[in-house]
Structure 1
Amino acid sequence: MTAQAGADLPLEGVRVLDLSRVLAGPWCAQVLGDLGAAVIKVEHPERGDDTRDWGVPTGAGGTTYFDSVNRNKRSLGLDLASEEGAAIARDLAARADVLIQNFKRGGADRLGLGYERLSAENPRLIYCSVAGYVGDGPEAERPGYDLVVQGESGLMAMNGRAEDPPLKFGVAAVDLFTGQYAAQAVLAALYARERTGRGRHVEMALYDSGLSLTSYVGLGALALGQDPARVGNAHPAIVPYGVFEAADGPLVITVGNNAQYRRFCAVIGRPELAENPDYATNLGRSRLRETLGPVIEAELARRPRAQLIADLQAAGIPCGEVLGLHEALRSPRTAEAGMLHDGPAPVLAPPYRLDGARPPVRRTPPRLGADTEAVLAEIGLDAARIGALRARGVVA
């Protein structure tokens, strides 16, 4: 269950109490765990995290949803709605460096687990709250759901082709980016604590993250005073740039400047397209994409994909295959990168390297309550007390 630990991970010794559920909060805690923090994931002793009931089962109460955001954690089955369970959580918070929660507005306070109380008991605690909308706004009590926020923030209106309805991302992008932003803010608060000795209250809202994700497309909408055109897999401002069909399958070609364009035309055997002054600049090509595009597409469709990729790469033009998801995950490129941790239930590895080494998957996603006895023993509960709590359903 535990992989060989890596040496000198940057957050070694940092203790994280993860009271959150579903994706955004658990993703934040997983990032911290990947970097070496000791993460305790608190789950309902009977139901566990909601995501244990989502996606493809992976055995022993796991699913692909749960496994994707809960590596490098221990599981404590604890009923926070019980007085004894909440007291245990407060004891753990008093010893923690970071706490992450995504209760509905007021829920943490009702359990005695709110920021004011816990920070008074542990002034060094960094307390991270994840919600759907800002906590002091008129929508503070609304629950936050990724798909709803994708619609409300304009993200769905950015995706797809002009003739298609609004389209969501293929993953819960708002949830995952909110978790990543939360981890960044927690790391900043940990750094500041070295100087001040005090923790901070980090507040994250899914809606804010959704707006942030609109990035340069959102700024384009503000500059235009209207929604930019949707162009599917093409680029709204660069030509040729997108997904194209070779004779035997799709590939991505990204011609980023005029010099690359001239070399591209040579590769497809149409040097006159580079010599035509109408197409000499990207602005011209973009303006005339409806004329130029079909010519390029016809030339690409006549050639095998592998040969095209080899010729384009030799000419210094960025390109690549369009792979199926399973094909990509099992590709030699993924294996060489060390991005897949195989086991009874495979999980992805952390996507960064430190001093040339990828942080290890020290713990695969835990079974519900797998570490309950060990965690409770660490805060001084003996076997008799743990047994009594289990008999009353307080712990798993």
Structure 2
Amino acid sequence: MPGLPLQGIKVVDFSRVLAGPLSTQVLGDLGADVIKIEHPERGDDTRDWGIRIGETETTYYYAFNRNKRSVALDLGDPEMIEAARALVADADVVVENFKQGGMERFGLGFEELMKINPRIIYCSIAGYDRAGEEAQRPGYDLVVQGESGLMSINGEAGRPPLKFGVAVVDMFAGMYAAQAILAALVDVQRTGRGRRVDLALYDCGVTLSAYYGLDALVMKSDPPRYGNAHPSVIPYGVFDAADGPLVIAVGNNRQFQSLCRDVLGRTDMADDPRFATNILRSENRSALIPELERELLNHKRADLLNKLAAAGIPCGEVLGLYEALSHPRTEASNMLVTHKNAKGEDIVFTAPPWRIDGERCRVRPPPTLGEHTAEVLASLKNP
């Protein structure tokens, strides 16, 4: 297999927790040499989050730090700052998520590093606009989910606002950061000059509101919450069969007709003028959905899934997380990787979701704290 797309790209990662580490994990997955700078004693905050699976590792840390090398540097030590500057001197990318002014206090701000490496791509991830009045506020996914309106569109109607099950703002910020860095790496090949990339978690939260956000602007009010249902595609959601839940996603009028006639044997629903088009079904949601729910309860889930699949209607089981990760589908996709930690215990973690030239990208386990310090610093003295 040819080399990975980012082979030969060097990334110095000063970020912690989620958004920054996820962005650099993406770069590492694609072949970049990612050097993760950590405090020698405490390391990344996430080494203390989740379930302990090693001396310095946890499940949370493992989720965002594969394909990296860990170098322990105390940036309060002038000698260690000089080592960091030496690492950046021939790097392609720097990523950081310190509070406003933090990197500048260490002499590692964008302007300082551009003087020693004018081709550097410098990505800063913050909670809020670094040029705005809230620049000093710390950025936390949960807070931004609330402030950006994301909680208000999540959950069931009539229930309190609900956060998403994972840190979606942080995760999308990490992916957006990786996208911008990749674009800047293309640009530097043309211009020879580096770029500064800034991302704010709040901005990413607003972006995530997507069509719900545009609905709110048009209506000048909050759109209703539909829980597992879709705001405008009907029927589309989680339904109960006689023996368990399943997902049914009717995406067009042909599929609705087939659902009624071929799957449920309900020609009356198929012929009902109130349900003839998706817009009409949306307007008559309160009449259609209760009737559909009652009908589905008369059928076994496996029978429904077989008939739905035969009719070309998107459908699926609703599985628990462990059940999903243990499913033959997951095993067949090679999405899970197993390695032994320092204690000889088997540790399972996820692979990158893409394939390049038909193969999964390489996967190296997340490093222990400071695992590569001696190796990396020795390379600075003996290039």
Measure the CA separation in 2 of the matches of 1:152 and 1:381. 50
Residue 367, structure 1, aligned to residue 371, structure 2: no
Query: Residue type of the partner of 2:205?
Result: G
Query: Residue type of the partner of 1:237?
Result: S
Residue 329, structure 1, aligned to residue 331, structure 2: no
Equivalent residues in 2 for 1:256-275, closer than 5 Å:
256-266=251-261, 267-275=263-271
Equivalent residues in 2 for 1:3-42, closer than 5 Å:
7-42=2-37
Aligned to 2:343: none
Please list the CA deviations of residues 297-348 of structure 1 after superposition, one character each: whole Å capped at 9, or x if unmatched.
1111121111111100000100001110111111111111111112322111
Aligned to 1:199: 194
Query: Residue type of the partner of 1:351?
Result: P
Please list the CA deviations of residues 178-212 of structure 1 after superposition, one character each: whole Å capped at 9, or x if unmatched.
01000000000000001001110011110010000
Measure the CA separation in 2 of the matches of 1:89 and 1:44. 12
Measure the CA separation in 1 of the matches of 2:347 and 2:216. 43
Helix, strand or coil: the match of 1:345? strand
Residue 307, structure 1, aligned to residue 303, structure 2: yes
Helix, strand or coil: the match of 1:264? helix
1:285 CA drift (Å):
1.4
2:58 paired residue among 55, 59, 63: 63
Measure the CA separation in 1 of the matches of 2:175 and 2:279. 36
1:272 CA drift (Å):
1.2
Measure the CA separation in 1 of the matches of 2:90 and 2:317. 49
1:248 CA drift (Å):
1.3
Measure the CA separation in 2 of the matches of 1:352 and 1:116. 35
Residue 208, structure 1, aligned to residue 200, structure 2: no
Gaps of 5+ in 1: 1-5, 383-396
Measure the CA separation in 2 of the matches of 1:360 and 1:13. 15
Equivalent residues in 2 for 1:77-116, closer than 5 Å:
77-116=72-111
Aligned to 2:218: 223
Distance of aligned partners of 1:381 and 1:84 in 2 relative to their CA distance in 1, 3 Å threshold: farther
Aligned to 1:293: 289
Query: Residue type of the partner of 1:359?
Result: C
Aligned to 1:385: none
Helix, strand or coil: the match of 1:40? strand
Helix, strand or coil: the match of 1:342? strand
Aligned to 1:393: none
Measure the CA separation in 2 of the matches of 1:60 and 1:340. 22
Aligned to 2:166: 171
Please list the CA deviations of residues 63-98 of structure 1 after superposition, one character each: whole Å capped at 9, or x if unmatched.
111000000001111101111111110110112100
Please list the CA deviations of residues 207-245 of structure 1 after superposition, one character each: whole Å capped at 9, or x if unmatched.
010000111110111111111110100111121110001
Residue 278, structure 1, aligned to residue 274, structure 2: yes
Residue 379, structure 1, aligned to residue 380, structure 2: yes
Residue 117, structure 1, aligned to residue 112, structure 2: yes
Measure the CA separation in 2 of the matches of 1:277 and 1:101. 58
Helix, strand or coil: the match of 1:154? coil
Measure the CA separation in 2 of the matches of 1:79 and 1:101. 15
Q: Figure out how many residues of one structure are paired with residues of the other and give that number.
A: 376
What percent of counterpart residues are identical? 59
Helix, strand or coil: the match of 2:135? coil
Measure the CA separation in 2 of the matches of 1:119 and 1:250. 56
Query: Residue type of the partner of 1:274?
Result: A
Measure the CA separation in 1 of the matches of 2:242 and 2:317. 13
Q: Given the two structures, how large is their TM-score scaled by the length of structure 2? A: 0.96
1:338 paired residue among 334, 345, 370: 334
1:269 CA drift (Å):
1.7
Q: Given the two structures, how large is their TM-score scaled by the length of structure 1? A: 0.93
1:18 CA drift (Å):
0.5
Residue 140, structure 1, aligned to residue 141, structure 2: no
Measure the CA separation in 2 of the matches of 1:380 and 1:327. 50
Query: Residue type of the partner of 1:95?
Result: D
Query: Residue type of the partner of 2:239?
Result: F
1:41 CA drift (Å):
0.5
> Which has the higher mean CA deviation after the structures are superposed, 278-287 or 11-20?
278-287
Measure the CA separation in 1 of the matches of 2:45 and 2:368. 14
Helix, strand or coil: the match of 2:369? coil
Helix, strand or coil: the match of 1:177? helix
1:358 CA drift (Å):
1.6
1:290 CA drift (Å):
1.3
1:381 CA drift (Å):
6.7
Helix, strand or coil: the match of 2:75? coil
Query: Residue type of the partner of 1:318?
Result: P
Helix, strand or coil: the match of 1:39? strand
Measure the CA separation in 1 of the matches of 2:43 and 2:124. 20
Query: Residue type of the partner of 1:258?
Result: N
Helix, strand or coil: the match of 1:174? helix
1:115 CA drift (Å):
0.4
